[in-house]
Amino acid sequence: MDHLEALKEIKLPFAEHIGIKYVSASKDKVVARMDVRPELYTCPDILHGGAVMAFADTLGAAGTFLNLPEGAWTATIESKTNFIAPAPVGSAVTGETVPIHRGRRTMIWQTKVSTEAGKLVALVTQTQMVLEPS
- What tens digit of pLDDT does each residue of 67-102 get? 999 999 999 999 999 999 999 999 999 999 999 999
pTM of the prediction? 0.95
Q: Report the CATH number at residue 103.
A: 3.10.129.10
3-state secondary structure of 57: helix
The residue type of 118 is G
C-alpha torsion 108→100→112→50, nearest 10: 10
Q: How many domains does the chain have?
A: 1
| Containing structural domain, residue 125 | 3-131
